[in-house]
């Protein structure tokens, strides 16, 4: 006998109530209603902080250059006082894994709050919706404007909206590209005729991407294009805090006067005002249960709480809660899955910090000359190498270049090097076999470079020394 997944009734539907399609179900444009509340304020403050970081950091200077700059042409990546090189990309991979586990942890704990509060798609969509309200009016006015024939008034309002959308998109694109090209030069380039084609392409590309995603696609990106919307469900458990409608308290829904005893009339606390639907940026009805379209922004919570206040009912008909609590139990904050993710996250953060602190700030690469070996004037066997030394710091440094101890070789070439900040030098050297016989035709040889000011900063690299058989 095959296993069956038991069905569970989320809410009872009053057959006397007409079935109404939400904007998302009807396929029309979603016009959100203005509202206020504590979660809206939290989202605004959080978005303000993110905007300050994104737009402000690009203009900060550090040591005479842009504080955060990924210089792709020079293969150098500056983050305040640290310089990263392509050799450090393993740290970027580790950082991405940490971000993924952080997302897993917060999802198990509180659902899709990343999408509702800090995801760039959501944040910029809220900004574009605010521009839409400023230029075209409140929800009922926008709906009326949609249905109105084209005329000077409609053309002016639509033109103002799309014009401001393009301005926001352009500023966003310039700032983003400004993290890869010095932003002061980038902003001045169009005015002095120095904007190159590649940079112009990327500015236009990200302008168009922002305009289309936040202005036109909006919730479609969250519902259809974002992979997170698909796999989040498998990470939820019965104790995950999600935006939920309390059907046991809200049903049977229906309109009523504030003064009547709705319990005596057999009514629940839901007055079926549909304000929760009107404020939803993805156009869903949260009363239908948890849906993949829900981004956890809590707009419906703020809207419903305001209605409960007007009616004199207790807040929380729609709230952050867990499935276990809705069934009469108590939410367990500490459970194996959440503790496991959190422990793995902390462990990886610790390992990342250790790796970041322990990374060498000098790089040494060895390339052997294509010739096999040669005999010098003293009759000794020598091999030729090219050593590439990189000063990965932002200050001038002096290094000692030599061979690791306890080897039968002697280095012939410059012993000390002075490198400017971020400088790369190629040093030709020869290695002489001093203690014969070597005993074999090929043996490893180890080079090292040591920072004279800080001997703990050292790097070692190896290559192969070739000699005639019997030497």
Provide the 10 A C-beta neighbour count for residue 173. 20
Average pLDDT over residues 52-75: 92
Average pLDDT over residues 186-209: 94
* Domain chopping of the chain, boundaries: 31-84+119-217, 362-466
The answer on pLDDT for 410 being more than 60 is: yes
Could you tell me if 75 and 85 are in contact, meaning their C-beta atoms sit under 8 angstroms apart?
yes
Stated pTM of the model: 0.85
The tokens of 187 are what?
A: 């902003």
pLDDT tier, 213 (very low <50, low <70, confident <90, very high otherwise)? very high
The per-residue pLDDT for 471 is: 62
Which tens digits make up the pLDDT trace of 346-355? 999 999 999 9
Could you tell me if 383 and 465 are in contact, meaning their C-beta atoms sit under 8 angstroms apart?
yes
The answer on pLDDT for 50 being more than 90 is: yes
The answer on pLDDT for 8 being more than 60 is: no
Which tens digits make up the pLDDT trace of 235-250? 889 999 999 999 999 9
| Whole-number percent of the chain with pLDDT over 70 | 94
The answer on pLDDT for 461 being more than 90 is: yes
Q: How far apart are CA 459 and CA 457, in angstroms?
A: 7
Average pLDDT over residues 19-34: 74
The answer on pLDDT for 27 being more than 70 is: no
The answer on pLDDT for 20 being more than 90 is: no
Q: How far apart are CA 417 and CA 402, in angstroms?
A: 11
Max Cα-Cα span within the chain: 111
The per-residue pLDDT for 22 is: 64
Q: How far apart are CA 382 and CA 467, in angstroms?
A: 8
The per-residue pLDDT for 439 is: 73
Assess if CATH 2.60.40.10 describes domain 362-466: yes
The residues pairing with 417 across neighbouring beta strands, listed in sequence order, are 399
Q: How far apart are CA 29 and CA 24, in angstroms?
A: 8
Which has the closest alpha carbon to 40: 233, 305, 240, 228? 305
pLDDT tier, 2 (very low <50, low <70, confident <90, very high otherwise)? very low
Which tens digits make up the pLDDT trace of 91-109? 989 999 999 999 999 999 9
Which tens digits make up the pLDDT trace of 360-388? 899 999 999 887 888 888 888 999 999 99
Place of tokens 């293969």: 75
The tokens of 131 are what?
A: 């521009």
The per-residue pLDDT for 10 is: 43
What average pLDDT does the structure give for the chain?
90
Q: Which three-class secondary structure string do you get for the chain?
A: CCCCCCCCCCCCCCCCCCCCCCHHHHCCCCCCCCCCCHHHHHHHHHHHHHHHHHHHHCCCEECCEECEEEECCCCEEEECCEEECHHHHHHHHHHHHHHHHHHHHHHHHHCCHHHHHCCHHHHHHHHHHHHHHHHHCCHHHHHHHHHCCCCHHHHHHHHHHHHHHHHHHHHHHHHHHCCCCCHHHHHHHHHHCCCCHHHHHHHHHHHHHHHHHHHHHCHHHHHHHCCHHHHHHHHCCCCCCEEEECHHHHCCCCCCCCCCCCCCCCCCCCCCCCHHHHCCCCCCCHHHCCCCCCCCCCHHHHHHHHHHHHHCCCCCCEEEECHHHHCCCCCCCCCHHHHHHHHHHHHHHHHHHHHHHHCCCEEEEEEECCCCCEECCCCCEEEEEEEEEEECCCCCEEEEEEECCCCCEEEECCCEEEECCCCEEEEEEEEEECCCCCCCCEEEEEEEEEECCCCCCEEEEEEEEECCCCC
The answer on pLDDT for 428 being more than 50 is: yes
Average pLDDT over residues 243-259: 94
Which tens digits make up the pLDDT trace of 281-310? 999 999 999 888 999 999 999 999 999 999
The tokens of 468 are what?
A: 């005639």
Which of 125-129, 320-324, 375-379 has the lowest average pLDDT? 375-379
Which has the closest alpha carbon to 20: 285, 227, 406, 238? 285
Could you tell me if 411 and 429 are in contact, meaning their C-beta atoms sit under 8 angstroms apart?
yes
The per-residue pLDDT for 3 is: 43
Q: How far apart are CA 386 and CA 369, in angstroms?
A: 7
Angle between helices 38-57 and 299-311 (to 10 degrees): 150
The per-residue pLDDT for 18 is: 53
Between 53 and 435, the more confident residue is 53
The answer on pLDDT for 338 being more than 90 is: yes
Count of residues for the chain? 471
Average pLDDT over residues 264-271: 94
Exposed, middle or buried: residue 145 (CB in 10 Å: 0-12, 13-18, 19+)? middle
Angle between helices 120-136 and 152-177 (to 10 degrees): 150
| Whole-number percent of the chain with pLDDT over 90 | 71
Pairing of strands 76-79, 82-84: antiparallel
The answer on pLDDT for 4 being more than 60 is: no
Average pLDDT over residues 266-278: 96
Could you tell me if 449 and 413 are in contact, meaning their C-beta atoms sit under 8 angstroms apart?
no
Average pLDDT over residues 443-465: 92
């Amino acid at each position: 006998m095959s296993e069956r997944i038991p069905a569970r009734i989320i809410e009872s539907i009053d057959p006397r109530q007409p079935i109404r399609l939400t904007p998302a179900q009807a396929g029309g444009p979603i016009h959100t209603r203005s509202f206020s509340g504590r979660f809206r304020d939290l989202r605004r403050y959080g978005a303000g902080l993110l905007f300050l970081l994104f737009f402000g950091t690009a203009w900060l200077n550090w040591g005479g250059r842009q504080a955060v700059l990924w210089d792709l042409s020079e293969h150098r990546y500056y983050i305040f006082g640290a310089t990263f090189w392509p050799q450090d990309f393993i740290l970027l991979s580790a950082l991405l894994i940490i971000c993924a586990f952080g997302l897993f942890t917060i999802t198990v704990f509180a659902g899709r709050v990343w999408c509702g509060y800090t995801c760039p798609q959501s944040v910029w969509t809220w900004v574009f919706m605010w521009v839409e309200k400023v230029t075209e009016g409140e929800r009922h006015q926008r709906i009326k404007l949609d249905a109105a024939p084209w005329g000077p008034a409609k053309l002016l309002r639509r033109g103002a909206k799309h014009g401001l959308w393009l301005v926001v998109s352009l500023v966003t694109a310039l700032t983003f590209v400004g993290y890869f090209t010095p932003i002061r030069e980038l902003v001045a380039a169009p005015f002095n005729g120095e904007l190159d084609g590649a940079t112009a392409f990327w500015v236009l590309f990200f302008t168009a991407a922002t305009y289309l995603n936040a202005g036109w696609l909006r919730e479609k990106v969250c519902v259809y294009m974002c992979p997170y919307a698909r796999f989040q469900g498998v990470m939820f458990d019965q104790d995950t805090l999600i935006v939920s409608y309390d059907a046991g308290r809200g049903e049977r829904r229906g309109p009523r006067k504030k003064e009547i005893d709705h319990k005596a009339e057999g009514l629940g606390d839901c007055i079926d005002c549909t304000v929760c639907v009107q404020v939803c940026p993805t156009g869903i009805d949260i009363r239908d249960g948890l849906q993949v379209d829900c981004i956890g922004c809590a707009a419906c919570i703020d809207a419903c709480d305001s209605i409960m206040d007007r009616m004199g009912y207790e807040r929380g008909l729609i709230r952050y809660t867990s499935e276990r609590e809705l069934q009469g139990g108590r939410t367990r904050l500490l459970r194996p899955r959440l503790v496991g993710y959190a422990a793995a996250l902390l462990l990886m953060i610790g390992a990342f910090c250790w790796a970041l602190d322990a990374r060498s700030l000098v790089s040494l690469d060895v390339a052997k000359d294509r010739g096999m070996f040669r005999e010098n004037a003293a009759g000794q066997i020598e091999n030729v190498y090219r050593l590439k030394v990189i000063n990965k710091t932002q200050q001038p440094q002096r290094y000692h270049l030599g061979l690791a101890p306890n080897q039968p070789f002697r280095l012939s070439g410059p012993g000390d090097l002075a490198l400017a900040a971020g400088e790369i030098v190629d040093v030709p050297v020869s290695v002489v076999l001093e203690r014969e016989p070597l005993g074999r035709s090929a043996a490893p040889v180890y080079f090292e470079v040591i920072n004279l000011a800080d001997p703990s900063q050292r790097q070692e690299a190896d290559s192969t020394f070739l000699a005639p058989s019997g030497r």
